[in-house]
Amino acid sequence: MFTGIVEELGRVEAIAPRIDGDGLRLRIGARTVLDDVQLGDSIAVNGCCLTVVSMEAPAADTAGWWEADLSDETLARTSLRGVATGSLVNLERSVRMADRLGGHLVQGHVDAVGEVVQPVPDLQVRVPGHLMRYIVEKGSITVDGVSLTVVQPLDDGFTVAIIPHTAAVTTLGTKQPGDPVNIEVDVMAKYVERLVAAALERSVAQ
């Protein structure tokens, strides 16, 4: 579980095919997110929950790195299929129970890939139609791992206001029209939908 508050901008250092032939192995240079991280821990990369499978801690004068395996399924369902060596990515360690929840509850399970229509500060993103029922004014949404508040739902997407700080410390400030972004809607909305649907079915059955 994550909060959608990006801790660090990492840089993709290497991309290689996995030995088993399923997907890729990604190496990301980082410093902050490697503090107290161990093999098997989770780190969100552009909002996609990945498992640390190899790492080297940072030294005093150099950043460290960590590696994660991207399955074919992950590559098919997220914008990580488009990253290249040198790409900057948003990084966040999984939340601890004692942490402040500065954003909202984020699973790191990408629902779909959206498309930037208009860049910051008034970021506009187009999303697949099946996600629109979860997007409401002043509701929470995650774009490339960044917890944001919806300003206006549109017929085919939404707008969010990006403050200069967020643009500077995340990749959102570099996004241009046509760029893909990972979208995760608020999981609470999904639970409410499921519970209400079940209640309506029981009501009709009676």
Instruction: Provide the Cα torsion 124, 127, 132, 134; round to 10°.
Output: -90
pLDDT band at 97 (very low <50, low <70, confident <90, very high): confident
Contact 147, 3 (CB under 8 A): yes
Contact 177, 171 (CB under 8 A): no
For residue range 119-137, list pLDDT tens digits in order.
999 999 999 999 999 999 9
The two three-digit tokens of residue 60, written as one number: 């005093």
Predicted local confidence at residue 203, as pLDDT: 80
Strand partners, 158: 125, 153
Predicted local confidence at residue 18, as pLDDT: 92
Domains of the chain, earliest start first: 8-93 (2.40.30.20), 112-192 (2.40.30.20)
Report d(CA 8, CA 112) in Å as an integer. Answer: 23
Report d(CA 45, CA 55) in Å as an integer. Answer: 15
